[in-house]
Structure 1
Amino acid sequence: MSRGFRAQLAQLLKARVPILYIESHEEQRVLAEIVATARDDALVRTPRAVWTWSATEGLVGPDGAARSGTANPAAVLDAVLRFDDACVVVLRDLHPHLGSAGRPGNPEVVRRLRDVAAALKSGPVPRTLILVSPVLRIPPELDRDVTIVDFPLPTEREIRVVLDSLIAANVTSGRIQIDLDDVARERFAKAAVGLTLHEAENAFARAIVNDGVLDMRDLSVVHEEKRQAVRKAGLLEFVDAGIDLADVGGLETLKRWLAKRDGAWLAAAGEYGLPAPRGILITGIPGCGKSLTAKAVAATWELPLLRFDIGRVFAGLVGSSEQNLRTAIRTAEATSPCVLWVDEIEKGFAADFAGDSGTSARVFGSFLTWMQEKTRPVFVIATANNIEGLPPELLRKGRFDEVFFVDLPTRVERLSIWTVHLDRRLRAPAAAGSLTVDDTLLKELCGLTEGYSGAEIEQVVVSGLFEAFAARRPLVKEDLIRAIANMVPLSVTQAERIGALRAWASTRAVAATAAEDWDSGAGFTGPSTSGGRVVEF
């Protein structure tokens, strides 16, 4: 636990703030910190006895003895008023009596809390009431009487202690094998940041008993524990990537840029004075690998991938959009280090915010502020098809580390894309048959699909397989050629729009394709008319 919480709590106790509210699922950890603070005369000058109350035990004194007749919340509040000594009273089950959305609280309990607040302010001895709850519920009548105190989740150091202790306790038994160096242990601890100590311990224990070996392959168990927290929040989607950057054909400049930032959230990067990378914006022609890259980065970096659907933010009651954004951001930061994928960001943050009473502008402003000031390792990958629809302030340096433009694949990239998709689809013996995928076939297919996107090439393979399946025979080259001939690519149907995208990107974005992949014989995909600055990283 950082010293910040104890210092803040001690300050509030010395100021004799009557009622504090701590929102946390970790009751025992909160109680331990309260006890340590209240008994430390260096922090509070006047040490205070700590009493606790729950609906099952009633009021329990510092000696551990329960006081009869105090299970009722109104009764315990009356008892607090009769205390003559300096004390702190921790109430753990009061939130059901304080109401919730659409349901008022217990009028008697709310009234007594207001009476207690007034009495504690002017009493002869310092007494403080602390409400500890897994949810934040403060009736409007108590808004001015209750002070909220933030209780942070466990730090990486605290989680590392739990991990090391668990490993030490099990290694001595000789029943498990540990294959983690110091850097790997750091990755495990960082992966568990955002979980409670209990959740982190459960995740590590599951990883150990999974196969009797604890190694980097068990990192997915920790990510699974985080998946539960993300699902409960409801605004972000935990995505199983299932691919890595090796499965993305082409885009070598973008891949190199990402490879150099792998592990940049670890302590080794901090020793170089490096901050965690903020993120990238990927724009370009639809179907050329923007979303695929977002998924592949998370898998390659071995980080959780969270998909942020901005449409979910703009839902519900008036004022809930701003709260939804804050909840989504808190969830992402609690899951960090992670990759936050904002797909088609232009549909949520268009340049024109008119017509919604300023809600979109406020949400956008909050998102910009977070992007600029975030300190947690949340790597944002935003994708956009219509970059001109985005407000200019989103594109300036400081929000994203770089803006990349993904163009139609060059001949070299099409060769890689064809290889990836044919290899993946022809693993089934019934589909492969006698088709030989060699350089001659690949070069012929690359020549026939000039101007095709990666998604269109994949669809050509799928269409060819449907032809083969309908005839109940293996795939042959003619199936692929026929599918190519029957498809009208986006480069034809949206030629004007693609030209406008390239014109925009020519001076405002970096080409995701490597310079060595440009092929002067690749028609309009050559360097003279392609969008994006061709640079090296």
Structure 2
Amino acid sequence: MSRYLEAHRDLDSFVAARVPLVGVRTVEPLRAVRLLREVAGSARRAGLPFWLHTRAAGLRDLRTNTQVQDDRSLVAAMDFAAGQLSRRAQATIVFVEPEDLTTDSPAARHLAELARLADARSGSIVLITDTPLWSGLQRLGMSITLDLPDAAEMYDIVADFLAEQQGAVDIEWTEADARRAAEFLVGVPEGTAINVLATMAASGRLHRDDVARLAEFKDKHFGDLAGLERVHVAPADNQLGGLTTLRAWLQRRHQVMLADLSGTRLRPPRGVLLVGVPGCGKSLSAKAVAAQWQMPLYRLDFATILGMYVGQSEARLREALEMAERMAPCVLWIDEIEKGLAGQHDSTGVSRRLVGQFLYWLQESKSRVFVVATCNDVRSLPPELLRKGRFDELFFVDLPDATDRAEIIRLYHRRYLGTEADGGLLARLVDLSDGFAGSDIESAMNEVGIEVMLHDGQSALTASFVIDTFVNIIPLSRTHPEQIAEIRDWGRERAVPAGAAVATPTPDGGSRRRVLVPGDA
């Protein structure tokens, strides 16, 4: 059942029970008014009066929209309600966004008196607001929440819009495109979704490529998001060297991310946790996923989440995760997650509460938010975060082997020099870069590119200069060999290799994991 139908069911039962005060919490007052008109339009309520007050239109008949009185003020509407409730039974008066109802204010007390009068005459006062009601009002009745349209309801909205435009607009969208468009629009109000679709259709044609553009409209609609940073992905971020197993796994998950799961019990992919050696492509993987999947990328920064007051950090994290769900489908990048969720030595208990809150969301959320979390010091993470079922998979990103280093060198040679690497030089650079992380290779190729630019062209590029540049790079595996060795020992036994997986002998004569991706011959 959609959220709208659930709200309709609850509101219908409250009106039938003559609950004296009904609070409807929503950010879409027009949608709530439509809901009330449907409830009031029931045949069994044909003889019952329903009135509606808004600031712009004043007091009107809910069904016919006929003006009731010239004075449009809230005070005049409440006086009218008091008179009607005193003279007749089973009257319903709806107030849309009346002011100052969150605290013990004169308006809140006046409406509370109306609710008591309605209770004596089997009437109802309905308050449509986007803020919480004062507790003195809440105690007098019941409340419902009219949430934003979910995927099923949004698909109906998109389908109805497309049906209305048939003949006037050249529509290339298939049913699958319409469902994908609905997924992109989940999290925005119904009116905004229709405005976005109308804007795109104003050109007289809806292209299939327009579906991906919906993410841009959605991003502009939300603007600055609390706790989330919009990361703009460059075209070059689409390229990722090495990490062949991870790339194949992500490709299969992308198919699930795009699939229509409404007729199944499957849930969208949760995400992936990348642990391993610093500088080997964990953060770059998040950007590559967003670029290849054509989804917006948001970065969750725990430094902006943590607050100084009790409960502030938890509230900020909850708000950030809720906003991520509203931006779905999207990629949520949590860089160095151990810095925000470690907390073994946190005497305040904040980190432990954040862990519990994040894990609950990760376990229960049904939104298409794909989490890419990276971690350098996996030993500081709480064990429950590593349990199977939290993330879809735990990958270990190791130092690239010779094959991966060759691919990475070719990639950055094209990016910074605009040419393909010479075969003989490439083999030499692969040998020299043994122990390099991907960031070390990029740094070396960037230095070569700068030298070529300063000397105005490829004529300055000599094999000896490129080789010397690689020789002068001192990778982390040499400056901190013990730390890197400890990270690699942990990851080889406890996580899926992100690169080409090769069995590695262990001291007991066995071998570590070799992972085969289904369909990967």
TM-score by length of 1: 0.85
Kept in 2: contact 1:283–1:403 (CA 8 A): yes
1:19, 1:131 within 8 Å by CA — same for their partners in 2? no
Is 1:534 aligned with 2:518? no
Secondary structure of 2:209's match? helix
1:262 alignment partner in structure 2: 254
1:231–1:372 Cα change, 3 Å:
same
CA positional deviation for 1:165: 4.4
Which region of structure 1 is more displaced relative to structure 2, 186-195 or 66-75? 66-75
Deviations 1:348-403 (A, max 9, x none): 101426233x3332232111111112222222221111111110111112211110
Pair 1:489-2:475 in alignment: yes
Deviation larger for 255-264 or 479-488: 479-488
Task: Say whether the 8 Å CA contact 2:104–2:134 is kept in structure 1.
Answer: no
- Aligned residue in 1 for 2:75: 74
Whether the 8 Å contact between 2:25 and 2:132 is mirrored in structure 1 is: no
Distance in structure 2 (CA, Å) of the matches to 1:387 and 1:38: 58
Is residue 238–residue 289 contact of structure 2 (8 Å, CA) maintained in 1?
no
The SS at the match of 1:77 is helix
How far is the alpha carbon of 1:185 from its aligned partner?
2.5
Tell me how far apart the structure 2 counterparts of residues 20 and 363 of structure 1 sit (CA, whole Å). 34
Amino acid across the alignment from 2:109? R
Taking a change above 3 Å as real, the CA distance of residues 480 and 230 of structure 1, as seen in their structure-2 partners, is farther
Conserved 8 A contact 2:227-2:300: yes
Structure 2 SS opposite 1:535: coil
- Quick one: distance in 2 between partners of 1:225 and 1:380? 22
RMSD: 2.9
> What is the Cα deviation at residue 98 of structure 1?
3.5
Instruction: State which drifts further: 375-384 or 144-153.
Output: 144-153
Whether 1:437 aligns to 2:440 is: no
The alignment partner of 1:282 has SS state of: strand
- Structure 1 match to 2:101: 98
Deviations, residues 456-503 of structure 1 (Å, cap 9, x unaligned): 111111112223333444351344323222221111122111111122
Q: Tell me the alpha carbon deviations over residues 418-458 of structure 1, each in whole angstroms, 9 at most, x when there is no partner.
A: 1111112223xxxx6xxx62322222211111111111111
**Which residue in the other structure is 1:300 paired with?**
292
- Aligned partners of 2:512 and 2:376: how far apart in 1? 14
Aligned to 1:194: 187
**Paired residues for 1:465-476 under 5 Å:** 465-474=449-458, 476=461
How far 1:61 sits from its partner (Å)?
A: 2.2
Which amino acid letter does the alignment assign opposite residue 72 of structure 1?
S
1:327 aligns with 2:325: no
- Gapped runs of 5+ residues in structure 1? 100-104, 519-525
Question: Shift of the alpha carbon at 1:404?
Answer: 0.4
Q: Distance in 2 between matches of 1:72 and 1:171?
A: 43
CA shift in 2, pair 1:179/1:39, >3 Å: closer
SS at match of 2:468: helix
Q: Counterpart of 1:261 in structure 2: which amino acid? A: R
- TM-superposed CA distance for 1:34, in Å, is 1.4
> 1:102 maps to what in 2?
none
Once the two structures are superposed, the pairs formed by residues 5-84 of structure 1 within 5 Å of their partners are: 5-40=7-42, 48-62=48-62, 63-68=64-69, 70-83=71-84, 84=88
The secondary structure found in structure 1 opposite 2:256 is: coil
Cα distance in 1 for residues equivalent to 2:399 and 2:339: 22
Q: Which amino acid in 1 is paired with 2:379?
A: E
Q: Give the structure 2 partner of residue 379 of structure 1.
A: 370
Deviation at 1:138, TM superposition (A): 3.2
Which residue type is aligned with residue 397 of structure 1? K
CA distance in 1 between counterparts of 2:370 and 2:241 reads 22
Instruction: Please give the per-residue CA displacement for 1:282-340, whole angstroms capped at 9, x wherever unaligned.
Output: 11111111111112212222333222112222236543322222222221222222222
Of 366, 373, 382, which aligns to 1:391?
382
Structure 1 position 511 matched with structure 2 position 497:
yes
Helix, strand or coil at the partner of 1:369:
helix
Gap runs ≥5 in structure 2: none
- Equivalent positions of 1:32-181 (< 5 A) are 32-40=34-42, 48-62=48-62, 63-68=64-69, 70-83=71-84, 84-95=88-99, 97-98=100-101, 107-121=105-119, 123-133=120-130, 136-139=131-134, 141-142=136-137, 144-145=139-140, 147-170=142-165, 172-173=167-168, 177-181=170-174
Structure 1 residues 109 and 246: alpha-carbon distance in aligned structure 2, compared to 1, 3 A threshold:
closer
Bigger mean CA deviation after superposition, 17-26 or 139-148: 139-148
Distance in 1 of aligned mates of 2:268 and 2:362? 12
Call closer, same or farther: CA 1:206–1:479 in 2, change over 3 Å. farther
Equivalenced residues, count: 506
How far 1:85 sits from its partner (Å)?
Answer: 3.8
Change (3 A) 1:353 1:115: farther
Q: Deviations over 1:228-262 (max 9, x none)?
A: 34434322223233358861101111111111121
- 8 Å CA contact 1:405–1:509 kept in 2: the answer is yes
Pair 1:459 & 2:443 matched: yes
Does the CA contact (< 8 Å) of 1:509 and 1:532 recur in 2? Answer: no
Structure 1: which amino acid aligns with 2:78?
L
